[in-house]
Amino acid sequence: MIDTRKYGPWAVIAGGSEGVGASFAEQLADAGINLVLIARKPEPLAETAAAMRAKGVQVRTIELDLLDPTAIDTVRADTDDLDVGLLIFNAGANSYGHDFVTGELGRVQGVIDLNITAQLALTHHFGALLAERGHGGIMLVGSLAGYLGQPEISVYSAVKAFSRVFAEGLWLELRERGVDVLELVLGVTRTPAMERAGLNFDTPGLDVAEPADVAREGLAHLADGPVWVAGGNQAAAEKRSGFPRAELALGALEASRRLLPTE
């Protein structure tokens, strides 16, 4: 059961138009929490907003590319009159699968700016507001990729590692001020972004989570920070945190080759 007094009356979801973000929106709307949905693609954003309004909650949409240097100013202008109790940063599915040294540095920078710079800007703004009011929550949606370097997503893995360590420090800073902080670590999840990336969900032995399930698990464990590994992936996270690192990295290489389509 979602504590609407603690995490309401408004929630901001960055990356809230499809996949896990849309599932967060649906479950929060079912609990009666009003929504601010931030997304880059207008069509799924409008569709999700309409579906949430049909549930009886208020919804504001912000069609926005979080890579825009003025993005935080736009978000502030559209939310400063609201009592926001929850920030969910789910806008990070930008892995840019390419070998680092032959890839375009500008696109690599985009991965960093989305997953670190934009996340920090929104967390800094809403975190200060939540700390001042003395209750609320911040959820940063992470990835099992952040536990181990992998080929062609080396930068994505690195920024997800940053997000987890950042969440741990932020949790320590805000826990005495009534604000819950959680890094929700996802494994392979059946999202439109992963489908567009060509991930082979039919790989033998692969455990694939559904967006609604991981969203429900994350909301249920908001107060159990700083890190919650969703979808039964706790053992995998622990294994990826071990040693020797070379052996683990080579194992991840073989696993990634089975998941991704071949040319």
- Pick the catalytic residue from 7, 96, 147, 156: 156
Of 259, 158, 137, nearest to 203 by C-alpha is: 259
- Dihedral class, residue 149 (left if φ above 0, else alpha if ψ from -120 to 50, else beta): beta
Q: Is 254 exposed, middle or buried (0-12, 13-18, 19+ CB in 10 A)?
A: exposed
Contact 181, 124 (CB under 8 A): no
Q: Is 96 an active-site residue?
A: no
Of 184, 190, 227, nearest to 211 by C-alpha is: 190
Contact 174, 131 (CB under 8 A): yes
Instruction: Let me know the angle formed at the C-alpha of 188 by 15 and 145, rounded to the nearest 5 degrees.
Output: 80
Please give the positions annotated as active site. Answer: 156
